[in-house]
Amino acid sequence: MNSEFKHLVKPISLIIILLVLFLSIFKLGFNQINLIMAKTNESKETQRLLTSKISILETVNETIANDITYVDIALPSKGSVLYGLSQIKKQAKIYNVIISNLKAGVINLGENGVSRNSLTFDAQGEYNEIYSFLSSFNKVLPLMNLDKVKMDMTDNVTHAAVTVSVYSADLPQKIPSVEESIDDFSEDEINTLRSIAGYELPEFFEPTPTESEARPNPFE
């Protein structure tokens, strides 16, 4: 009996080892399958989010008429004072108003990264032209606010001491992940974008080289 048992020990041990190996391989394969399925589901979710973001961005693109310049200039990260000075001169030319003593003040840092800079100047012209000139700041970019106006009239000529504010905003310090979801724009936000696209942009000037006579070559 003991001899027969000894003969069975080796095959039984081999079967047990094979069974353990089979179970280990099966468990490993099952875990790999679960991992692949999890990654597949994650990829599908990422694809869904990206598709949604593309749709939202296409809506914005159509809303602002394929021109991001209006949004960028509305609250510029830099150059707001130059843009503001450009608008003042541009509107003065349109409404036949004479501008003098045009000065920029100190930048005041506000909340949420929005800053304000005061521009002061004197304006001279007919009353109706001065009124139209000052009213025009409600529809120009960058966003400007008429802070203070002091007017007087001499010999049928209206003089105005004006203070306006021009605003700027810092660019986002952190760019969101590509895979991060975004909310669709509300109706109010879309209307705001469309409204901004109807504002007047400042004039942009391309610097050109100064024409001068060719200098003689001293080595000839």
Is the residue at 139 inside a domain?
A: yes
Q: Are residues 99 and 16 in the same domain?
A: no
CA 59 to CA 74: how far, in whole Å? Answer: 20
Q: What is the per-residue pLDDT for 109? A: 77
Q: What is the per-residue pLDDT for 217? A: 47
Q: Are residues 32 and 110 in the same domain?
A: no
Q: What is the mean pLDDT of the chain?
A: 77
Q: Are residues 40 and 18 in the same domain?
A: yes
The whole domain housing 133 covers: 69-171+185-196
> Which has the closest alpha carbon to 200: 148, 129, 133, 147?
133
- pLDDT band at residue 64 using 50, 70 and 90 as cut-offs: low
Spatial contact of 177 and 46, defined as CB atoms under 8 Å apart:
no
Is the residue at 214 inside a domain?
A: no
Q: Are residues 74 and 58 in the same domain?
A: no
Domains: count for the chain: 2
Q: Are residues 82 and 190 in the same domain?
A: yes
Q: What is the per-residue pLDDT for 124? A: 93
- pLDDT band at residue 77 using 50, 70 and 90 as cut-offs: confident
Q: Are residues 74 and 166 in the same domain?
A: yes
Residue 107 backbone dihedrals phi, psi, to 5 degrees: -70, 130
Q: What is the per-residue pLDDT for 100? A: 93
Q: Are residues 10 and 111 in the same domain?
A: no
Q: Are residues 113 and 166 in the same domain?
A: yes
Is the residue at 44 inside a domain?
A: yes
Q: What is the per-residue pLDDT for 129? A: 93
SS3 151: strand
> Which has the closest alpha carbon to 50: 176, 189, 187, 190?
176
Q: What is the per-residue pLDDT for 67? A: 59
We report the CATH number of the domain holding residue 122 as 3.30.70.60
Q: What is the mean pLDDT of residues 109-123?
A: 85
Q: Are residues 138 and 110 in the same domain?
A: yes
Residue 5 has pLDDT above 80, yes or no: no
Q: What is the per-residue pLDDT for 61? A: 61
Q: What is the mean pLDDT of residues 151-155?
A: 88
SS3 107: strand
Q: What is the per-residue pLDDT for 125? A: 93
Q: Are residues 164 and 76 in the same domain?
A: yes
> Which has the closest alpha carbon to 101: 124, 80, 79?
124
Is the residue at 215 inside a domain?
A: no
DSSP assignment letter at 163: E
Q: What is the per-residue pLDDT for 33? A: 78
* 11-25, 89-103, 174-188: the lowest-pLDDT one: 174-188
Is the residue at 219 inside a domain?
A: no
Q: Are residues 84 and 162 in the same domain?
A: yes
Q: What is the per-residue pLDDT for 29? A: 74
Q: What is the per-residue pLDDT for 214? A: 47
22-58 pLDDT tens trace: 777 777 777 777 787 777 777 777 777 777 766 766 6
166-216 pLDDT tens trace: 988 877 666 666 556 666 667 787 777 778 878 888 876 444 443 444 445
Is the residue at 178 inside a domain?
A: no
Q: Are residues 46 and 78 in the same domain?
A: no
* 22-26, 35-39, 71-75, 95-99: the lowest-pLDDT one: 22-26
**Cα torsion 211, 213, 219, 220: sign:** positive
Is the residue at 212 inside a domain?
A: no
Q: What is the per-residue pLDDT for 23? A: 75
Spatial contact of 160 and 121, defined as CB atoms under 8 Å apart:
no
